[in-house]
Amino acid sequence: MLHTDIIDIKQKKLSIKDAEKFIASANYGASIIFTGTVRNQNNNKNVIGITYDSHDALVLKSFNEIYNETEKKLNIKNKAVFIEHAKGYLNLKEISIIIAVACKHRDEAYILSRYIIEEIKKRSPIWKKEHYIDNKSDWLKGNPLVHEKI
Amino acid sequence: MRIKIELFGASREFSKNNLIEFNVSNNSKIKDIRAEMNKYLDENFSGNENYKKILKSSSFCSEDNNIVSDNYKITENEKIGIIPPIGGG
């Protein structure tokens, strides 16, 4: 069971309650809710906010691919996964990503949660522009996309 | 033929419109688009080395949302996305 979305921050904020509601089930004994939030320091610079940009269609495609491969690669069959990522300007402490997973047992839940965030970092076309206290801003360098090409 | 390059991430700095349009010859490939964009950066940003690095390390995405190689043939009016190095989460 999977829910994915890109949330335009001008329309609404990411909601941990929505994630909890989606993964709640008596079928699962372990759940983990991972959130990524905007912090105030990066590379010795004082950050005041981050603008997130994304190629929405490719990002949602990557979320689906990551979810689908967890059955084969991790052998985790019964699971609920909720993934939402923000798009737009976020202030400090605001949530940029929620990954909520529920599985039968805790081992699977920890592995699944970690796998999803690490794969998103490698494969999902999302970009960050940091805004600093001195009114300057910079796109973070990032890593070239690791993906099969047609 | 006319093609559109949709800009994302750091490549949004290449234009205020989030989109660059080029006239290219029929049967052009992604590698031809890279060359056109290099020329565009020379003309509009005096060959800004940072921008050129971004272009060099970017992938490209077809209109039907597949990451494509430099040999991918572009069709008329196709909207291609430039995908600079990523880093969300």
Q: What is the domain-level CATH number for residue A124?
A: 3.90.1170.40
In a domain, B89, yes or no: no
Q: How many CB pairs under 8 A join A and B?
A: 93
- Is pLDDT of B73 > 70? yes
Q: Please give the average per-residue pLDDT across B65-71, as a whole number.
A: 94
Domain count, chain A: 1
- Is pLDDT of B88 > 80? no
In a domain, B88, yes or no: no
| pLDDT number for residue A60 | 98
Average pLDDT score, chain B: 93
Structural domain of residue A76, as residue ranges? 2-139
The interface predicted TM-score (ipTM) is 0.92
Cβ of A97 within 8 Å of Cβ of B57? The answer is: no
First to last CA, chain B: 38
In a domain, B50, yes or no: yes
Confidence of residue B34 (pLDDT cuts 50, 70, 90): very high
Written as six digits, the tokens of A87 are: 């798009």
Q: Decide if A112 contacts A70 (C-beta within 8 A).
A: yes
- Is pLDDT of B44 > 80? yes
In a domain, A124, yes or no: yes
Least Cα distance to A120 among A45, A63, A53 occurs for A63
Least Cα distance to A84 among A32, A1, A7 occurs for A7
Domain count, chain B: 1
Q: Which residues of A touch B9 (CB under 8 A)?
A: 53, 125, 127, 139, 142
In a domain, A146, yes or no: no
**Strand pairing category for B79-83 and A137-139:** unpaired
Structural domain of residue B45, as residue ranges? 2-83
Cβ of B88 within 8 Å of Cβ of A57? The answer is: no
Least Cα distance to A32 among A120, A117, A115, A113 occurs for A113
In a domain, A36, yes or no: yes
What are the pLDDT tens digits along chain A (150 aa)?
Answer: 999 999 999 999 999 999 999 999 999 999 999 999 999 999 999 999 999 999 999 999 999 999 999 999 999 999 999 999 999 999 999 999 999 999 999 999 999 999 999 999 999 999 999 999 999 999 998 888 866 566
Q: Report which DSSP code applies to B65.
A: S
CATH assignment of the domain containing B63? 3.10.20.30
What burial class does residue A75 get, using C-beta atoms within 10 Å of its C-beta: 0-12 exposed, 13-18 middle, 19+ buried?
exposed
